[in-house]
Amino acid sequence: MNTKNKGLKVIFLIITILLLTPLIAMQFTDEVEWTLIDFIIAGTLLLSTGLIFDLIIKKIKNIQYRIAISIVLFIILLLIWAELAVGIFGTSIGGN
């Protein structure tokens, strides 16, 4: 198995596990109420972040730059996720 396919398989496996978490939680509690569009948006956001992270790992050779850019990417993911979930910035895409 070449490295490119292995990286994509790992990304898809992680995304699947992360999206299974709310799906399973929905079976046991009414606190989690995701719709199909929520899963699509979360999957798209996670997939794009995973692919960008994979690109960073493959293209940037300097380990310090790689770590710094990866941290920034992760912070951007968290901020977008929080905005979509609860609307912390008050934009029109917020969850409130």
User: CA-to-CA distance for 61 and 89, rounded, in angstroms?
Assistant: 35
Per-domain boundaries in the chain: 3-86
Q: Check: CB of residue 95 under 8 Å from CB of residue 84.
A: yes
pLDDT of residue 85: 83
pTM attached to this predicted model: 0.84
87 to 42, 44, 52, 75, 93: CA distances (angstroms): 15, 19, 24, 16, 7
Q: Check: CB of residue 57 under 8 Å from CB of residue 65.
A: no
pLDDT of residue 21: 94
Per-residue pLDDT of the chain (96 residues; tens, 9 = 90+): 565 578 889 999 999 999 999 999 999 999 988 999 999 999 999 999 999 999 999 999 999 999 999 999 999 999 998 888 887 777 777 655
User: CA-to-CA distance for 18 and 34, rounded, in angstroms?
Assistant: 13
pLDDT of residue 19: 95
pLDDT of residue 17: 95
Q: Check: CB of residue 46 under 8 Å from CB of residue 19.
A: yes
